[in-house]
Structure 1
Amino acid sequence: MPLLTRHITGKKKSDSLQRTSSIGGTGKVPHAKKPRSRPRTGARDKVRFLNGTLPAYSGPYNVGCMDIEVPAKHPRTFSNITRKGRHLLQLETVLFTLYYPAALGFENGRDPAGHKTWSRETWLPRPRAETAKGYGRFAGLPDFVSLSWFAATTMLTKIRAFRNAPLARHWPPEEGTSTGHQRRDQQGPPPPGRTDEPHFPLLFFSHGLGGTRTAYSTICGEFASYGFVVCAVEHRDGSGPRTFIDHAKKGEGRQDEGQDEGAVDHLHQELAQSYDTIDYIFPKDNPLDTSPGNAQGVDSELRLAQIQLRLAEFEEAYRVLCEICRGNGEEIARQNLRRRGYVGASSRGLDGIDWAAWTGRFHTDKITAAGHSFGAATVVEALRNADRFKHVQAGIIYDIWGAPIKPPEDDERHRIHAPLLGINSEAFMYWQTNFDKVKSLMEEAKEQGAPAFLLTVRGAIHLSQSDFSILYRHVCSFFLKATVHPERAIDLNVSASLEFLREVTSGAGKTIIERCLTDEKLLQTPLLEPDEIPDAHKPNDEFIAKKLEVKHEFRTRMSAKIQRKMKRAKKHGFYKPGDEVWMHFKPEVEELSNWQKQTLAAEEISRESSARTETG
């Protein structure tokens, strides 16, 4: 399918466009389905006037989480960019939050560390006041404004995952008549040929500009509730609002250790404390390089250097997870800097975790890389370096920011050879140059024989794949004109992602997806032709990618709400493909089938090779 080179404009639209884009041709978006059902919330999460709340997860597993920060194996600097006499981009430690499936019924007892109740981490990373100030600086607001805003909205908000919960050791029951969380307190038999304890697939997640490791807790936690171990890396590349790098107070990983070896450098005042503070880095003389209308374009030197640092953090996090999977969790816990006495840590640290239960329980040989916005650009670069990231079997790019992506190299070894799924927001779909770049990535994967899908979530904005759309839903609705329900937007992203991974992966990781998945058949949505791309919600150039346009807003929203209620009153099956997503790119049936056959053949060869090695 050729690249889209234009959008429909003016009053002339085909009959198919009228049916696809609107209710009666008025531009009103149906978004008919309700968000997926979720467990009931406790009292804390109902007191909305004190803090914003996040939804419980919809999958068949409870979710646990833990924070891990350990010294990097090879501390070093990236690029020659300096400010105030020191390198801006340095790798010294790696920090991530791990979201994972939790054990059956664990919350009914005390946690192993002796605490009376299981606790949940705060959504705003600690120290919360300092992170709030970082967001204020990122938005150009004074400290007292940002502190007041977060105090009134999300300072008390907690992630819906339980800290240091035991890892799940059970298979959920087959879907039957129940879906998602309705199977959460039940155990099912293992699938034929599988072990009694499931081995979980591993997914890495990379946040976008202004994000943190917890800013996507809903989508990461959703993946965990469907049987994934999710590593959400906090990038220390100056892309987040504010982050803290802890240093060991003695022994390996001390701040002066890397300084003395010449691997990194610090200012004198930084050496007087045991941590560094990294705020958002604005490109020099070009602070608005992310804007679609920026005449100077993207700051390529900074952005490409940031991506290289992010890739190194992926490698470090992968190394740590491999150690845990090998049975060396106790050593990782010993090195962990997110414990009592260190900046940004909770008092519990990694207390109470049964590291033996983690040995061999998730797959490190085949992993999925996913990211949002600038994080999606990071994923693309990882996919193009398959020799370096040989274990990445598939990529998922959520609303990618395409400006920092380099054109594909002449050397085909550094092109995308892995399956690729792109999910756009409607707001970013209207950003033509960005959309063309996304389509070119799909073409790049297809040319190498890998299946690629690209779809758009209708009524979604750039924040719809993050927690911000849920915690600040009224801001997103009234000011940015999002029309999709924020929880339903997450459902659509996760469902499409799971359907994609079921189709393009193999082995035990695929088995857990098949057991947990509620299939919405989103990838079966018919392709839109280039002249069928609606523009009913396309804003003026001034607001491209930032917001949607909703004409006659009150009437539009009310009539759409009435139609949703009418649809829900009908029997199941009344919804049509295209009601909630538009499909722009996908492989032919034969192309996908050939990929699946090749994947199965490669897996069989791998099994035979492993068997020969064991018997030899």
Structure 2
Amino acid sequence: MGVLVKPLLPYSGPYPVSTTDLELPLPQPRSFDALSLKSKREPALRLETVLFTLYYPAGGDDEPESQSGSGLHQPWVQRPIEQTAQGYAAFLGQREDLCRGLFRYAGEALALPAEADRPLAAHTGPNQGAAQTGSASLDRSAPGDTPRASDAWPLIVFSHGMSGQRTTYSRWCGEMASRGYIVAAVEHRDGSGPISIVRLGGGQEREVPFLRPEELCWSEGSGDVDLLDFRAVQQQIRLSEVAAALAVLRRLNEGEGDPVARENRRKDLGGEGVAGRYLPDWKGRIDFNDVTVAGHSFGGGTTLEALRVGMPFFPFTKGIALDPSADPLPPDRARTVFSALRHDLAKAKDGAAAKSAESDAAAERSNDTDSAGEQPQIDVPLLIVNSESFTLWNKRFEEIKTAFNSLGEGVRGWLMTLVGSSHSSFSDVFLVVPFATKLVGQRASASLVLDRTVQACLEFLQERHDDGPILTQSIISGDEAGGRPNEADKGWFGQRNGMQGEPGSMRMHLKR
């Protein structure tokens, strides 16, 4: 693998982990006509398919050969490597040949520590032969350790941040799967990732590159595209993709595994004979009464927005936001797009033919809230874990506090900071290139940051609100404001004198 690049280690929970890629066409593909590419004068953003990777607890290692997986592992750097390298070069503003060389060096052999396309595990108790390589402080319990009402697993839908893809957060997703959660990591086609390849069918493909506002214009041809306007439109595309992923998962849960497998356009790992062959067995195996939305950075913003929209559009019972980009409500120019897409979600609830009175009323209430410029209320429990970067960035911390304070009366919530962390440390990047932590002044190791994050998330998801060592921490007077006196954001290349406290410890700011 090399001196500078490290492999991804096996997951530490009691269950083996497997992955499956799914890309399915949308029943009603659409273009977002409000924004156009200046270079082509055509819609900049279109949704034809939804793409996500499932991370899930797999059947035991002692399964018969007929129950084995593909024998292959999901690559961490998406193929073709040249296209991914080109996308990151554009995102970072670096030379393509340099990025191509780095990605070939780092990505050729780098794969997720999980065999693809194995059967979903049954609730017969965790496989004690699973890897146990994580921190000794991690809670290794899983929902399967306690008798459940059914053989269904709880679901998490994960949204990546800017420059991310569906494998960029494989450590967090895989760790949660190793503890008995199905995690659907969506790859967004909103121009926020370095590149994404849309498979259109019939061997046709389309690239979605990283997009900047200066590359775009409003379709009616008047005025520049403001960054916040663009982010608001992107956020609504993300919500549409989350809704589409949920629709596919509902099909699996309702017994449509065979047609989903036939429609799937991602069969790279194992081909027609292996990819998706166990999907018919997923009938009734997803617990839609226990569905969490989670995300990092811009994906944390997606999490907050999905929770603000709430029912009847999204069935989420909890939310986890890691360093969320908690921007205010969309500016005036994008608000019509914002409201129109919410209305589309309302129609999608009961199909394209008609919309229910309940959906109509909910869409109307949502639009009224937007026009009033107020934060819509969040009505389910919320966990927010910040890095030092976002807590010491005063403006961002105030936005996050505003989002937290929109929790409804009696709704549980926690806002805390992981001491010694940096913004990118919730992803896999510092696990793969650990020397880069020095460049950003991160004091906690990459593995410690992720271990502590997973532990906090498990306490939250397993409702250990009153006995978990992290969630029960008290708030020290003054920490409600974020950073303490003499704690300041030093910037990307100088946070060595960041927050006080032991690296890897948690500091509580708000809880209810």
Q: Give the letter for the 1:332 counterpart.
A: V
C-alpha separation between the residues in 2 aligned to 1:368 and 1:186? 18
Instruction: Show the 5 A alignment for 1:60-459.
Output: 60-83=14-37, 84-106=40-62, 110=65, 112=67, 118-172=71-125, 191=146, 194-195=149-150, 198-249=151-202, 274-284=204-214, 299-339=227-267, 345-348=268-271, 350-351=274-275, 353-403=277-327, 405-406=329-330, 409=370, 410=372, 414-445=376-407, 447-459=408-420
- The residue number in structure 1 matching 2:508 is 583
- One-letter amino acid matched to 1:534: R
Q: Which one of the candidate residues 495, 500, 503 is aligned to 2:455? A: 495
Once the 2 structures are TM-superposed, how far is the Cα of residue 297 of structure 1 from its aligned partner? 11
Whole-angstrom distance in 1 between the partners of 2:144 and 2:232: 48
1:578-597 deviation digits (Å, cap 9, x = unpaired): 9701000111xxxxxxxxxx
Match of 1:484 in 2: 444
In structure 1, what residue type is equivalent to 2:271?
R
Question: Could you say if the C-alpha distance between residues 307 and 171 of structure 1 is closer, same or farther in structure 2, counting changes exceeding 3 Å?
Answer: same
Runs of 4+ with deviation above 6 angstroms: 178-190, 576-579
2: CA distance between counterparts of 1:114 and 1:492? 31
Kept in 2: contact 1:324–1:358 (CA 8 A) = yes
In 1, Cα distance between the equivalents of 2:15 and 2:239? 30
TM superposition shift of 1:189: 9.0
SS of 1:473's equivalent in the other structure is coil
The one-letter code sitting in structure 1 at the alignment partner of 2:51 is L
Task: Give the Cα separation in 2 of the matches to 1:521 and 1:114.
Answer: 38
Secondary structure, aligned partner of 2:77? coil
Is residue 23–residue 52 contact of structure 2 (8 Å, CA) maintained in 1?
Answer: yes
Over the matched positions of the two proteins, sequence identity in percent amounts to 32
Distance 1:236 1:404, change over 3 A: farther
Deviation at 1:160, TM superposition (A): 1.5
Residue by residue over 1:188-212, the C-alpha shift from the partner in whole angstroms, topping out at 9 and shown as x without a partner, is 99745745xx321000000011000
Q: Give the deviation of 1:235 after TM superposition.
A: 0.3
Contact (CA 8 Å) 1:537, 1:548: kept in 2 or not?
A: no
Letter in 2 for 1:204: V
Per-residue deviation, 1:152: 2.2
Instruction: Tell me, in whole angstroms, the C-alpha distance in 1 between the residues paired with 2:389 and 2:157.
Output: 25
Looking at CA atoms only, which structure, 1 or 2, has the larger radius of gyration? 1
Aligned length: 459
CA shift, 1:248, in A, is 1.6
* Structure 2 letter corresponding to 1:309: I
Alignment of 1:456-535 (within 5 A): 456-476=417-437, 478-503=438-463, 521-530=469-478, 533-534=483-484
Matched position secondary structure for 1:311:
helix
CA distance in 2, matches of 1:327, 1:502: 28
Relative to 1, partners in 2 of residues 1:521 and 1:114: Cα closer, same or farther, differing over 3 Å?
Answer: closer
CA distances 1:98-117 after superposition (whole Å, capped 9, x unpaired): 000011225x76465796xx
> What SS is found at the alignment partner of 2:411?
coil
CA-CA distance at 1:133 after TM superposition: 1.4
Superimposed CA distance per residue, residues 525-558 of structure 1 (whole angstroms, 9 cap, x where no aligned partner): 1113226843666344xx2xx355225x9xxxxx
Q: Give the corresponding residue for 1:595.
A: none
Question: What's the CA shift string for 1:440-494, capped at 9, x where partnerless?
Answer: 111110x443111001000000011000121122112x21010111111111111
CA distance in structure 2 between the aligned counterparts of 1:188 and 1:433, rounded to whole angstroms: 38
Using a 3 Å threshold, how does the CA distance of structure 1 residues 78 and 388 change in structure 2: closer, same or farther?
A: farther
What is the TM-score of this pair, normalised by structure 1?
Answer: 0.68
Higher mean alpha-carbon deviation, 73-82 vs 376-385, is at 73-82
CA distance in 1 between partners of 2:16 and 2:506 (Å) = 28
| Inter-partner Cα distance in structure 2 for 1:245 and 1:473 | 32
In the aligned structure 2, how far is the partner of 1:125 from the partner of 1:55? 19
C-alpha spacing 1:530/1:346, structure 2 compared with 1 (3 Å): same
Change (3 A) 1:190 1:439: closer
Q: Deviations over 1:275-319 (max 9, x none)?
A: 110110011179xxxxxxxxx996122111111111111111111
State the alpha-carbon separation in 2 of the partners of residues 442 and 403 from structure 1.
12
| Unmatched tracts of structure 1, length 5 or more | 1-46, 250-272, 287-295, 340-344, 506-513, 554-559, 561-575, 588-616
Q: Contact 1:239–1:280 at 8 Å: present in 2 too?
A: yes
Instruction: Give the secondary structure class of the aligned counterpart of 1:54.
Output: coil
Aligned-residue offset at 1:502: 2.1
Shift of 1:245: 0.5
The residue aligned with 2:495 is 549
Structure 1 position 78, deviation (Å): 2.2
Q: For 1:186 and 1:466, how far apart are their aligned partners in 2?
A: 23
Find the aligned partners of 1:491 and 1:187 in 2 and give their Cα distance. Answer: 15
What secondary structure is seen at the aligned counterpart in 1 of 2:84? helix
2:69 & 2:502 partners in 1: Cα distance? Answer: 51
Distance (Å, rounded) in 1 between the aligned partners of 2:410 and 2:174 = 32
Q: 1:457 to 1:413 in 2, by over 3 A?
A: closer
Structure 1 CA distance, aligned partners of 2:424 and 2:265? 31
Aligned-pair CA distance for 1:397: 0.6
Give SS of 2:324's match.
coil
1:179: how far off? 8.1
In structure 2, relative to structure 1, the CA distance for the partners of 1:493 and 1:456 (3 Å cut) is same
Q: Deviations over 1:393-441 (max 9, x none)?
A: 1111100112365597559994211111100001111100000111111
Closer/same/farther in 2, CA of residues 538 and 335 from structure 1, 3 Å limit: same
Q: Residue 213 of structure 2: SS of its match in structure 1?
A: coil
Contact 1:62 1:102 in 2 (8 A): yes
Q: Secondary structure at the match of 1:524?
A: coil
- 1:236 aligned counterpart, secondary structure: coil
The AA in structure 1 aligned to 2:379 is: H
Structure 2 regions of 5+ residues with no counterpart? 217-223, 332-368
The offset of 1:55, in angstroms, is 2.1
Indicate how the Cα distance of structure 1 residues 111 and 280 shifts in structure 2: closer, same or farther if over 3 A, else same.
farther
Q: Does the C-alpha gap of structure 1 residues 388 and 81 become closer, same or farther in structure 2, counting only changes over 3 Å? A: farther
Alpha-carbon contact 1:57-1:222 (below 8 Å) kept: yes
Deviation at 1:180, TM superposition (A): 8.8
Separation in structure 1 between the aligned mates of residue 374 and residue 69 of structure 2, nearest angstrom: 55
Q: TM-score, normalised by structure 2?
A: 0.81
Look up the SS of the partner of 1:522 in the other structure.
Answer: coil
Task: Give distance in 1, aligned partners of 2:486 and 2:214.
Answer: 37
- Structure 2 counterpart of 1:487, which letter? S
Look up the SS of the partner of 1:322 in the other structure. helix
Distance change in 2, residues 1:200/1:412 (3 Å): farther
What is the CA–CA distance in structure 2 between the aligned matches of 1:165 and 1:174, rounded to whole Å? 14
Cα distance in 1 between the residues matched to 2:46 and 2:20: 24
**CA offset at residue 186 of structure 1?**
12
Distance 1:112 1:401, change over 3 A: same
The residue type paired with residue 381 of structure 2 is P
Paired residues of 1:224 and 1:230 also in contact (CA < 8 A): yes
CA RMSD of aligned residues (A): 3.6
Distance change (3 Å), C-alpha of 1:69 and 1:314 = same
Kindly tell me: are residues 463 and 184 of structure 1, through their superposed partners in 2, closer, same or farther at Cα, counting changes over 3 Å?
Answer: closer
The alignment status of 1:538 with 2:488, answered yes or no, reads yes
Bigger relative CO (Cα 8 Å, ≥ 6 apart): 1
Matched residue type, 2:496? V
